[in-house]
Structure 1
Amino acid sequence: MQRLIPTGDPQRPVAFTEAAEPVPRPDEALVRVAAFAPNRGETFLLEDPRPELLPGKDIAGLVVQAAADGSGPSMGTRVVGHPALGGWADYVAVPTDALAVLPDALDVVTAAALPLAGTTALRLLRAAGPVAGARILLTGASGGVGHYVTELAAAAGADVTVLTATPERGERLSTLGATRVVHEIAAAAGPFDLVLESIGGAATAASLALLRPGGTLIWFGQASRTPVTLNFFDFFAGPENATIRHFHYAGGPYGRDLATLVRLVAEGRLHPEIGVVADWSETARVLVDLRERRVRGKAVLTTSAGR
């Protein structure tokens, strides 16, 4: 089979190689990959790849070998999955608790855009607690996670202000339920009950200052790739009793959250924003565009099985 592996070249970060078909563990199904969606964080790993790195965490395709232990979907079932690695290939072994069955109405391109970004959004909002009526500031909102958070939070009754780099990137977020779109933190009209911060650098301190007393900032990313520095004298002089929390989405099982995302999309209640769809022969180019933030929403690559 064919697999994409790291090259170490920033301008051509992956290349095809021939590889043996993976041998699933008893609790894994073998999936023929029809589509996969790289994440921006994966592009950073490719800059100085570990020798054992086999990228690929968001996939959709067809089960060609069911798990030997009898768990999970049967052979011939269309699925979306979130393997730990190895998804940029013709075949990947996926734990059955990291799979969800796709209804006929949901195509593999849309499904592949769901796992990491969608699961992050679901779990981030669970971590935040009830958001009905809450005033939320979401930074870095034009990426894959931001689109999902905006739609899910607005549907739950939140008043969502989103921060994006340009008006073009904010247009879609307004249709997904954002109350206000701003392009610099200084334009955000606080105070906010909750800040969901994913830019890093100076943005973290600036958005923290916009919290109401007793409000919460949840830091879940560093899109700017600039370290955060906080002056705690400023923090203590700011919103009284504010809370800063760190969030990371990872931790299986993923199947239940994937099934929730699939259901919401199938019911027309969640609308993945897919900025690029291309053949996987274009993966290297798309990865560079994703790393340089030239893609709005998600990028999805299709293999021969997805055409």
Structure 2
Amino acid sequence: MRRLIPTGEAPRPVEFTDVPQPVPDADEALIKVEAFAPNRGETFLLERPAPGLLPGKDIAGLVVQAAADGSGPGVGTRVAGHPPQGGWAEYAAVPTHSLAVLPDGIDSARAAALPLAGITALRLLRTVGSLAGRRVLLTGASGGVGHYVTELAAAAGAALTVVTATPARAERLAELGAAEVVHEVVAARGPFDVVLDSTGGPELSAAVSKVRPGGLLVWFGQASRTPVTLDFFDLLGGPAGVTIRHFHYAGAPYGPDLATLVRLVEQGRLHPEIDRVADWSETADTLVDLRERRVRGKAVLTTGAAR
């Protein structure tokens, strides 16, 4: 079968190779991959790929071999999946606890856009707790996670201010429910009960100053790729008693949260923001565009295997 593997070269970060089809463990199903969606964080891993790195964590496709232990969906079932690695291939072995069954109304491209970004958004908002009536600030809102957080938080009753770079992206975020859109953190009109920061760098320091006394800042990414420097005396002169919490989405099982996302899409309550759908022969170029922030929301690559 064909698989994409890292090259370690920035202008063309992946290339095709022919490898044997994966052999699933007892609790894994073998999926014929129809579509996959790279994440910007994966583009960073490809700059200096670790030995044996097999990228690919967001897929959709068809079960062609059910799990030997009897768990999970049967042969012929359409699924979305979140494998630990190896999804940029014709076939992927996926733990059944990381699969969700797809209804006929959701195509593979939309399904592939859901796993990492959608699960991150769900778990991030679950960490924050009830949002009804609370003032929330979200940085880096035009990425894959940001669009999901915007729509989910607005639907949960948050008064949401989002930070994004361009007017076009601002317009879409407003359509998804953002109450206010600004182009830099310092322009946000605080104070906020909750700040969700995915940018890091100097933006995080600015974001802390927007939190109300006793409020919460959840730090869930560093898209700026710049380390954070916090000055004690700046914090001392800012809002009192702010809690800064680190967040990471990881922790199986992913299947139940993925099923929730699928249900919300089917009901028309969640809309994957897909900027590009292309054949997987264009993966290398798409990864470069994703790394350089030329993609709004998600990009999806298709293998041509869809029925």
Q: When the two structures are superposed, what TM-score results if normalisation uses the length of structure 2?
A: 0.99
Within 5 A, what are the aligned runs for 1:77-116? 77-116=77-116
- 1:261 positional shift: 0.1
Alignment partners' CA distance in 2, 1:79 and 1:88: 16
**Paired residue for 1:138?**
138
Q: SS at 2:13's partner residue?
A: strand
Match of 1:223 in 2: 223
> Is 2:278 aligned against 1:278?
yes
- Deviations along 1:38-92, one digit per CA (max 9) or x if unpaired, are 0000000000001110000000000000000000000000000000000000000
Given residue 305 of structure 2, which amino acid in structure 1 is its aligned partner?
Answer: A
Q: What residue number does 1:305 align with?
A: 305
Identity in percent: 74
Distance 2:3 2:237 in 1: 53
| C-alpha distance in 2 between matches for 1:100 and 1:110 | 13
Q: What is the CA distance between 1:204 and its match in structure 2?
A: 0.3
Q: Letter of the aligned partner of 1:3 in structure 2?
A: R
Structure 2 unmatched ranges of 5 or more: none
Counterpart code for 1:86: G
The residue number in structure 1 matching 2:243 is: 243
**Equivalent position SS for 2:287:** helix
Counterpart code for 2:112? A
Distance 1:251 1:203 in 2: 27
SS in 2 for 1:282: helix
Match of 2:181 in 1: 181
| CA distance in 2: counterparts of 1:142 and 1:180, whole angstroms | 14
1:20 is aligned to 2:33: no
Q: CA deviation at 1:211?
A: 0.7
- Which AA in structure 2 matches 1:295? V
SS at match of 1:217: strand
Question: 2:85 & 2:229 partners in 1: Cα distance?
Answer: 32
- SS of residue matched to 1:121: helix
SS of 1:213's partner is strand
Q: Which residue in the other structure is 1:68 paired with?
A: 68
Letter in 1 for 2:266: A
Aligned to 1:50: 50
Q: Give the whole-Å Cα distance in 2 for the aligned partners of 1:105 and 1:177.
A: 24
Q: Name 1:148's counterpart in structure 2.
A: 148
Structure-1-length-normalised TM-score: 0.99
In the alignment, the residues of structure 1 paired with residue 232 and residue 180 of structure 2 have an alpha-carbon distance, to the nearest angstrom, of 29
The alignment partner of 2:305 has SS state of: helix
* 1:183 positional shift: 0.3
Shift of 1:241: 1.1
- CA–CA distance in 1 between the matches of 2:260 and 2:28? 21
SS for the counterpart of 2:230 is coil
Structure 2 counterpart of 1:34: 34
How far residue 236 of structure 1 moved from its aligned partner, in angstroms, is: 2.1
Trace 1:186-265 onto structure 2 (pairs within 5 A).
186-265=186-265
Task: Look up the SS of the partner of 2:47 in the other structure.
Answer: coil
Gaps (5+ residues) in structure 1? none
Q: Name whichever of 283-292 and 232-241 sits farther off.
A: 232-241
Letter in 2 for 1:95: P
What SS class does the counterpart of residue 8 from structure 1 fall into?
coil
Q: Which residue of 2 aligns with 1:59?
A: 59
The 4+ residue runs of structure 1 with deviation greater than 2 A are none
